[in-house]
Amino acid sequence: AEPPRFGALGAMIKYNTGLLGLKFILRITGSVFPKALLMAVPNAIAVLLLHRYARYGEDPEHYMAMDGVEFLWAGYTSVLSFLLVFRNNQAYTRFWEGATLIHQIRGEWLSA
């Protein structure tokens, strides 16, 4: 039997990127955006409704009496930022360790 030719296996997919690549980014099939929007839009609407209720609801003075929330938010973002930088630094170190080992292996293979 004759081996299959390249055309029989299928050609590369050619995408129409549209204006500035927006058509490619916002496409529905094979994209992560529909699933992300399915999770993000209802939560954004819920937060908007809760914010409106807290600000203009039954007791709007209660909204202004929430002192100290800024300090809680600042502490939360500080800890989150520290953890994110620490984790990113670990990943960067692992990447360079792996890249160094790959170069060593490649050097040993080429000198063999």
What would the pLDDT profile of 79-105 be if each residue is shown by its tens digit?
Answer: 999 999 999 999 999 999 999 999 999
Report the distance separating Cα 103 and Cα 109, nearest Å.
10
Report the distance separating Cα 43 and Cα 41, nearest Å.
5
Q: How confident is the model at residue 107 (pLDDT cuts 50, 70, 90)?
A: very high
Would you state the pLDDT for residue 96? 97
Q: Which residue has the tokens 């992560």?
A: 32
Would you state the pLDDT for residue 103? 95
Would you state the pLDDT for residue 60? 65
User: With a threshold of 0.75, does the pTM exceed it?
Assistant: no
Q: How confident is the model at residue 20 (pLDDT cuts 50, 70, 90)?
A: confident
Q: Two tokens at 84? A: 């994110």
Phi and psi at 22, nearest 5°, equal -70, -35
Cβ neighbours of 31 (radius 10 Å): 13
